[in-house]
Structure 1
Amino acid sequence: MNDLLYKVQSRFLFHAHVRIKIPASCDDAVFSELFTVMESVDRKYNSYSPDSYIDRINRNAGHFVTVDDEMASILKEIVFFSDIFKGAYDVTVMPLVRLWGFYRDKVDRIPSERDIGTVRPFVDYRKIEINGNEVRIGKGQEIVTGSFIKAYAVDRVVCRMRELGIDDGIINAGGSTIYALGPAAGDEWDIAVSDPADNRSAYSFSLLNRCLSTSCQSETFVTVDGKRYGHILDPRTGYPSPNRLVCIASDRCMVGDIVSTGLFCETRDSFVEVLGRIPREYALEGFLIDPSGEPVCSSSFCYTHEKNAV
Structure 2
Amino acid sequence: MAKAARPAGVHKHRFSAMGTSCEVQIEARDGRLAAELARVGEAEARRIEAKYTRYKPTGVVWAINNAAGEPVEVDEETAGLLDYAAQVNGLSEGRFDVTSGALRRVWTFDGSDRVPDAAQIAALMPLIGWDKVIWERPRLILPPGMEIDLGGIAKEYAVDRAAIAIMAQADCPALINFGGDLRTTRAKAGGRWAVAIESFDPAKVAGGLLQIGEGAIATSGDARRFLLKQGKRYSHILDPRTGWPVESPPRSVTVAARTCVQAGTLSTLAMLLGPEAESFLKAEKAEAWVLW
TM-score using structure 2 length: 0.85
Q: How big is the shift at 1:161?
A: 1.4
- Match for residue 53 of structure 1? 60
CA separation of 1:248/1:270 partners in 2, compared to 1, >3 Å: closer, same or farther?
A: closer
The one-letter code of the counterpart of 2:198 is S
Aligned mates of 1:199, 1:117 — CA distance in 2: 41
Identity of paired residues, percent? 25
Q: How big is the shift at 1:61?
A: 4.6
Is it true that 1:285 corresponds to 2:287 in the alignment? yes
For the Cα contact (< 8 Å) 1:196–1:216, is it kept in 2?
no
Is it true that 1:145 corresponds to 2:150 in the alignment? yes
For the Cα contact (< 8 Å) 1:264–1:288, is it kept in 2?
no
Bigger radius of gyration: 2
Could you say what secondary structure the match of 2:152 adopts? coil
Could you say what secondary structure the match of 1:37 adopts? helix
CA separation of 1:113/1:274 partners in 2, compared to 1, >3 Å: closer, same or farther?
A: farther
- Match for residue 191 of structure 2? 187
Could you say what secondary structure the match of 1:256 adopts? helix
Number of equivalent positions:
280
For the Cα contact (< 8 Å) 1:21–1:169, is it kept in 2?
yes
- Match for residue 237 of structure 2? 232
Q: Mapping of 1:133-282 within 5 angstroms?
A: 133-175=138-180, 177-183=181-187, 187-196=191-200, 200=204, 202-222=207-227, 229-241=234-246, 242-243=248-249, 244-269=251-276, 271-273=278-280, 276=283
The one-letter code of the counterpart of 1:113 is A
Aligned mates of 1:274, 1:64 — CA distance in 2: 38
Is it true that 1:73 corresponds to 2:80 in the alignment? yes
- Match for residue 126 of structure 2? 121
Q: Which runs of 5+ in 1 are unaligned?
A: 294-310
Q: How big is the shift at 1:17?
A: 0.9
The one-letter code of the counterpart of 1:110 is V
Which has the higher mean CA deviation after the structures are superposed, 197-206 or 94-103? 197-206
Q: How big is the shift at 1:37?
A: 1.5
- Match for residue 91 of structure 1? 98
Aligned mates of 2:132, 2:282 — CA distance in 1: 24
Could you say what secondary structure the match of 1:90 adopts? coil
Which has the higher mean CA deviation after the structures are superposed, 12-21 or 258-267? 258-267
The one-letter code of the counterpart of 2:287 is E
For the Cα contact (< 8 Å) 1:195–1:245, is it kept in 2?
no
TM-score using structure 1 length: 0.80
Q: How big is the shift at 1:227?
A: 6.5
The one-letter code of the counterpart of 1:97 is R
Aligned mates of 1:75, 1:46 — CA distance in 2: 15
The one-letter code of the counterpart of 1:70 is E
For the Cα contact (< 8 Å) 1:12–1:18, is it kept in 2?
yes
Which has the higher mean CA deviation after the structures are superposed, 36-45 or 118-127? 118-127
For the Cα contact (< 8 Å) 2:186–2:215, is it kept in 1?
no
Q: How big is the shift at 1:51?
A: 3.3
CA separation of 1:158/1:284 partners in 2, compared to 1, >3 Å: closer, same or farther?
A: farther
Q: Which runs of 5+ in 2 are unaligned?
A: 1-6
The one-letter code of the counterpart of 1:20 is V
- Match for residue 298 of structure 1? none
Which digits, 9 at most, give the CA deviation of each residue in 1:238-261, with x for residues without a partner?
222342011111111122222212
Aligned mates of 2:185, 2:157 — CA distance in 1: 16
For the Cα contact (< 8 Å) 1:18–1:172, is it kept in 2?
yes
The one-letter code of the counterpart of 1:8 is K
Structure with a larger share of its residues in helix:
2
Aligned mates of 2:59, 2:271 — CA distance in 1: 28
Q: How big is the shift at 1:11?
A: 1.0
CA separation of 1:4/1:53 partners in 2, compared to 1, >3 Å: closer, same or farther?
A: same
Which digits, 9 at most, give the CA deviation of each residue in 1:158-212, with x for residues without a partner?
111111123412111112x021231598732222212335552613322222111
Aligned mates of 2:83, 2:172 — CA distance in 1: 30
Which digits, 9 at most, give the CA deviation of each residue in 1:77-123, with x for residues without a partner?
111111111122111111112211358xx977311122222212322
Which has the higher mean CA deviation after the structures are superposed, 181-190 or 43-52? 181-190
- Match for residue 36 of structure 1? 43
For the Cα contact (< 8 Å) 1:14–1:150, is it kept in 2?
yes
Which digits, 9 at most, give the CA deviation of each residue in 1:34-57, with x for residues without a partner?
211211111112323323201111
Aligned mates of 2:281, 2:89 — CA distance in 1: 12
